[in-house]
Chain A
């Protein structure tokens, strides 16, 4: 087993000494955080300054990321897998210490470039989108802080540093979802997001602590001494935990719980659709491209831990769990997306579904498969969200798709880019990146030894994806305009990023085709030869054909049911007329939120009341009792003190004074008195003498 690990993804030919690129890598997250700090300290809101600072810092991070990426590519070209770390001890206690650090390897390099590039485009887009908002400066401050934190998650070499940046990402997500905090819905959505991800984070933290206890380090890579390197993994596998699991599996599942919270897997998916209350750039950046991808990235990071301990089927328990959860989420969310009417909410559920795909891809096919879909998804989902934002902006802040229509003519550029993104998401054959990335996952699912069920689930999900996206596009862009005022195209500052992203939505696919599996080779450190004939391998060809058929079927169904028709918003949906009971369940999101409200939320409300009672009545009562007793004792003591101690003392003094006075009368000052006493004393003495000398 250990030999398998040794031979598997991360070979020994590492270059460990930190190059220049790695040593300056810390600038990548720090630059945006610094910009956020400066913006936060501005006395008055300054629009130009804050936007310039934010965009400039992220552009700087992009440059450094490209530098690092090129360094890693150079390494790959010369045949070595670059994995350079800079570690330092942060906390010392006793003889142990907690170490932090950052790492530069292919996974981190790719993610860095994606996050900074997409982030930069969204920042530029926000300049246009938020132009009429009063809190422009605050927006860019939070955006920069988020960017810095997300980049910190990417380059972290220590699980602790990753967790700290993870929490910061969660905080900024809360701040940005609730950006328009005057709206009660936004404030509630922010709180919901924070609390739901919190549930995942608790398990994550447990996993971290357990890992630290078992291996003594939280660094990922530390010249062989890291927590996911061979020695530590062997120790973890040997250690049994509960329920027949090993420590490695248990820790892996705990960490997955954290990833599930952040990446919106079932059952912690409930926050993501509500998070659409935030501004659209926020939805694009955080809830499409980056933050939700952090969960997938985390699993990719600790993949050796997840993959440790294969069963007889050749894969580990943790990965099996991840696969099933991902596959289920993919279908579940896609079903709900079919019946939604808010343009952003459809995209939100689509994101949840695609995250399920990524998790399933990680579980079945490994890091490269899952990460490739993450990268392509980031581009086309950001494109779709920004396009939706453009549509909302053009339709004068309208978000209900039943009140749109016919925008193909009024917003042509938006339509073209949106259509590109939509086709990429559906996985339209050959020319769109989504096809190649999704195919990678389907291929892995097809070859999964445990079960074929995920393959069918993911295929069904692809069908649904095509269906609901076609519904959305036909409602928004096709048909007739159903709104009040006429729509208009968005300004250039918003359209230009759309165009750039549309370009990449097409072109990125090239990096992961079976003909040239560059992405796969790059991440795993082996050569990727360009071989067109690999495309025509029969199994592969059949798979590509199958997925193409599924996509076209979905598109066709969608066009058949919704194409060109534009029902009024008051009329029920076509599908709703057909199967109203199914429609109701889908539209109401399988009543998961209601279930949570009735059980968990109600329980916590009750528990809160119980705790309040205990605190105020019982503990508070005890405190009051003690106070009362103490006061009583104090009063009694004072009484004792005044009466007995003071009084006794005073009385003694009085007695002494009186007796002194009495005694002083002996010294009367009158000589005759002294003489009298003297005479009597002499008499007494003489009497004694005479008496004693009697014969």
Chain B
């Protein structure tokens, strides 16, 4: 594996780790953004240009900002007093460690049977577009519906209930 890969992987993992560890929630959100960027670079490294740019557009451009907005709206900017970890967090750590252990074991165990094509695939925007309205038209429509509902739903859920004024 190339050296670049490991740098990008380090950025990603470091960002992720920072995101879950820091006390200040805004700092966590910023670290998250770094993690997203790292991921996008990884996608680009895997010749999935569309996915990489989609990652930047959506995640870095929308989700991260959404998270920041949410933090600010919920007064998460202050550093909380007391612990940021919940009461039974050890169990969670153990669970996460166990998950990594199992996944890693699974990967390493079946590594010999993985495919390993070296040819660079082409995934142009045109190909993706044709696939979207061709083969994957149904998921596309469903996704459209889902996004509509999610948008409306999010607005309704977060809407400030005003007092009814007679009028």
Measured in the bound complex, the distance between the Cα atoms of B105 and A673 in whole Å is 26
Q: Which of A672, A679, A680, A686 contacts B106 (CB 8 A)?
A: A686
Whether B128 is near chain A, meaning CB under 8 Å from some CB there, is: no
Determine if B92 and A679 form an interchain contact, defined as CB atoms under 8 angstroms apart: yes
> Which residues of chain B are within 8 angstroms of A533 by Cβ–Cβ distance?
none
Determine if A679 and B102 form an interchain contact, defined as CB atoms under 8 angstroms apart: no
Determine if B106 and A690 form an interchain contact, defined as CB atoms under 8 angstroms apart: yes
In the assembled complex, the CB of A683 is this many whole angstroms from the nearest CB of chain B, namely 4
Determine if B102 and A676 form an interchain contact, defined as CB atoms under 8 angstroms apart: no
Measured in the bound complex, the distance between the Cα atoms of B94 and A675 in whole Å is 13
Q: Which of A672, A687, A690, A694 contacts B92 (CB 8 A)?
A: A672
Whether B127 is near chain A, meaning CB under 8 Å from some CB there, is: no
Determine if B95 and A673 form an interchain contact, defined as CB atoms under 8 angstroms apart: no
With contacts defined as CB atoms under 8 Å apart, how many contacts are there between chain A and chain B in the complex? 33
Determine if A672 and B99 form an interchain contact, defined as CB atoms under 8 angstroms apart: no
Given A672-B92, A676-B91, A676-B92, A682:B109 Cβ within 8 A: no
In the assembled complex, the CB of A598 is this many whole angstroms from the nearest CB of chain B, namely 107
Measured in the bound complex, the distance between the Cα atoms of B91 and A693 in whole Å is 28
Given A673-B88, A676-B88, A690:B105 Cβ within 8 A: yes
Determine if B98 and A680 form an interchain contact, defined as CB atoms under 8 angstroms apart: yes
Whether B96 is near chain A, meaning CB under 8 Å from some CB there, is: yes
> Which residues of chain A are within 8 angstroms of B103 by Cβ–Cβ distance?
686
Q: Which of A673, A687, A693 contacts B102 (CB 8 A)?
A: A687
Which residue on A lies nearest to B95, using beta carbons? A679
> Which residues of chain B are within 8 angstroms of A676 by Cβ–Cβ distance?
88, 91-92, 95
> Which residues of chain B are within 8 angstroms of A687 by Cβ–Cβ distance?
102
- Report A93-124 CB contacts with B as 1/0, cut-off 8 Å: 00000000000000000000000000000000
Determine if B105 and A682 form an interchain contact, defined as CB atoms under 8 angstroms apart: no
In the assembled complex, the CB of B110 is this many whole angstroms from the nearest CB of chain A, namely 8
In the assembled complex, the CB of A170 is this many whole angstroms from the nearest CB of chain B, namely 104
Which residue on B lies nearest to A680, using beta carbons? B95
- Report A659-685 CB contacts with B as 1/0, cut-off 8 Å: 000000000000011011001101100
In the assembled complex, the CB of A303 is this many whole angstroms from the nearest CB of chain B, namely 119
Q: Which of B86, B88, B96, B110 contacts A679 (CB 8 A)?
A: B96
Which residue on B lies nearest to A689, using beta carbons? B106
> Which residues of chain B are within 8 angstroms of A675 by Cβ–Cβ distance?
92
> Which residues of chain A are within 8 angstroms of B91 by Cβ–Cβ distance?
676, 680
Q: Which interface residue of A672, A675, A676, A694 has the most chain B CB atoms within 10 A?
A: A676
Which residue on A lies nearest to B91, using beta carbons? A676
In the assembled complex, the CB of B143 is this many whole angstroms from the nearest CB of chain A, namely 26
Which residue on B lies nearest to A679, using beta carbons? B95
Which residue on A lies nearest to B112, using beta carbons? A695
Which residue on B lies nearest to A687, using beta carbons? B102
Measured in the bound complex, the distance between the Cα atoms of B104 and A686 in whole Å is 11
Determine if B109 and A683 form an interchain contact, defined as CB atoms under 8 angstroms apart: no
Determine if B92 and A683 form an interchain contact, defined as CB atoms under 8 angstroms apart: no
Measured in the bound complex, the distance between the Cα atoms of B99 and A694 in whole Å is 18
Determine if A694 and B88 form an interchain contact, defined as CB atoms under 8 angstroms apart: no
> Which residues of chain A are within 8 angstroms of B95 by Cβ–Cβ distance?
676, 679-680, 683
Determine if A682 and B92 form an interchain contact, defined as CB atoms under 8 angstroms apart: no
Determine if A690 and B109 form an interchain contact, defined as CB atoms under 8 angstroms apart: yes
Chain B 85-123 residues near chain A, CB threshold 8 A: 86, 88, 91-92, 94-96, 98-99, 102-103, 105-106, 109-110
In the assembled complex, the CB of B126 is this many whole angstroms from the nearest CB of chain A, namely 39
Q: Which of B86, B98, B102, B109 contacts A694 (CB 8 A)?
A: B109
Chain B 33-47 residues near chain A, CB threshold 8 A: none
> Which residues of chain B are within 8 angstroms of A686 by Cβ–Cβ distance?
99, 102-103, 106
In the assembled complex, the CB of A110 is this many whole angstroms from the nearest CB of chain B, namely 122
> Which residues of chain B are within 8 angstroms of A683 by Cβ–Cβ distance?
95, 98-99, 102
Measured in the bound complex, the distance between the Cα atoms of B105 and A322 in whole Å is 132
Given A676-B91, A676-B92, A690:B102 Cβ within 8 A: yes
> Which residues of chain B are within 8 angstroms of A682 by Cβ–Cβ distance?
99
Measured in the bound complex, the distance between the Cα atoms of B106 and A679 in whole Å is 17
Which residue on B lies nearest to A668, using beta carbons? B88
Which residue on A lies nearest to B100, using beta carbons? A683
Measured in the bound complex, the distance between the Cα atoms of B98 and A686 in whole Å is 10
Measured in the bound complex, the distance between the Cα atoms of B89 and A672 in whole Å is 9
- Report A479-520 CB contacts with B as 1/0, cut-off 8 Å: 000000000000000000000000000000000000000000
Which residue on A lies nearest to B92, using beta carbons? A676
Measured in the bound complex, the distance between the Cα atoms of B113 and A694 in whole Å is 12
Q: Which interface residue of B95, B103, B109 has the most chain A CB atoms within 10 A?
A: B95
Measured in the bound complex, the distance between the Cα atoms of B89 and A676 in whole Å is 9
Which residue on A lies nearest to B90, using beta carbons? A676
Q: Which interface residue of B96, B99, B102, B110 has the most chain A CB atoms within 10 A?
A: B102
In the assembled complex, the CB of A628 is this many whole angstroms from the nearest CB of chain B, namely 65
In the assembled complex, the CB of B91 is this many whole angstroms from the nearest CB of chain A, namely 5
Determine if B109 and A679 form an interchain contact, defined as CB atoms under 8 angstroms apart: no
Measured in the bound complex, the distance between the Cα atoms of B99 and A682 in whole Å is 8
> Which residues of chain B are within 8 angstroms of A679 by Cβ–Cβ distance?
92, 95-96, 98-99
> Which residues of chain B are within 8 angstroms of A672 by Cβ–Cβ distance?
86, 92
Measured in the bound complex, the distance between the Cα atoms of B102 and A12 in whole Å is 131
Q: Which interface residue of A679, A682, A694 has the most chain B CB atoms within 10 A?
A: A679
In the assembled complex, the CB of A209 is this many whole angstroms from the nearest CB of chain B, namely 99
> Which residues of chain A are within 8 angstroms of B99 by Cβ–Cβ distance?
679, 682-683, 686
Measured in the bound complex, the distance between the Cα atoms of B99 and A683 in whole Å is 6
> Which residues of chain B are within 8 angstroms of A690 by Cβ–Cβ distance?
102, 105-106, 109
> Which residues of chain B are within 8 angstroms of A693 by Cβ–Cβ distance?
110
> Which residues of chain A are within 8 angstroms of B92 by Cβ–Cβ distance?
672, 675-676, 679
> Which residues of chain A are within 8 angstroms of B88 by Cβ–Cβ distance?
673, 676
Measured in the bound complex, the distance between the Cα atoms of B98 and A676 in whole Å is 12
Which residue on B lies nearest to A690, using beta carbons? B106
In the assembled complex, the CB of B93 is this many whole angstroms from the nearest CB of chain A, namely 10
Measured in the bound complex, the distance between the Cα atoms of B95 and A680 in whole Å is 5
Which residue on A lies nearest to B98, using beta carbons? A683
Which residue on A lies nearest to B96, using beta carbons? A679
- Report A630-674 CB contacts with B as 1/0, cut-off 8 Å: 000000000000000000000000000000000000000000110
Measured in the bound complex, the distance between the Cα atoms of B88 and A680 in whole Å is 14
Chain B 66-98 residues near chain A, CB threshold 8 A: 86, 88, 91-92, 94-96, 98
In the assembled complex, the CB of A352 is this many whole angstroms from the nearest CB of chain B, namely 119
Chain A 577-602 residues near chain B, CB threshold 8 A: none
Measured in the bound complex, the distance between the Cα atoms of B109 and A675 in whole Å is 27
Chain B 103-161 residues near chain A, CB threshold 8 A: 103, 105-106, 109-110
Which residue on A lies nearest to B97, using beta carbons? A683
In the assembled complex, the CB of A133 is this many whole angstroms from the nearest CB of chain B, namely 109
Measured in the bound complex, the distance between the Cα atoms of B106 and A687 in whole Å is 8
Measured in the bound complex, the distance between the Cα atoms of B86 and A604 in whole Å is 101
Measured in the bound complex, the distance between the Cα atoms of B92 and A675 in whole Å is 9
- Report B51-66 CB contacts with A as 1/0, cut-off 8 Å: 0000000000000000
> Which residues of chain A are within 8 angstroms of B106 by Cβ–Cβ distance?
686, 690
In the assembled complex, the CB of A482 is this many whole angstroms from the nearest CB of chain B, namely 132
Interface set of B (CB-CB < 8 Å, partner A): 86, 88, 91-92, 94-96, 98-99, 102-103, 105-106, 109-110
Q: Please name 6 pairs of A and B residues whose Cβ atoms are closer than 8 Å in the assembled complex, sorted by A.
A: A672-B92, A673-B88, A676-B88, A680-B91, A680-B98, A683-B95
Q: List 18 additional contacts besides A676-B92, A680-B91, A686-B102; criterion CB under 8 Å.
A: A672-B86, A672-B92, A675-B92, A676-B95, A679-B92, A679-B98, A679-B99, A680-B94, A680-B98, A683-B98, A686-B99, A686-B106, A687-B102, A690-B102, A690-B105, A690-B109, A693-B110, A694-B109
10 A-B pairs with least C-beta separation? A679-B95, A683-B98, A690-B106, A686-B102, A676-B91, A680-B95, A687-B102, A676-B92, A683-B99, A683-B102
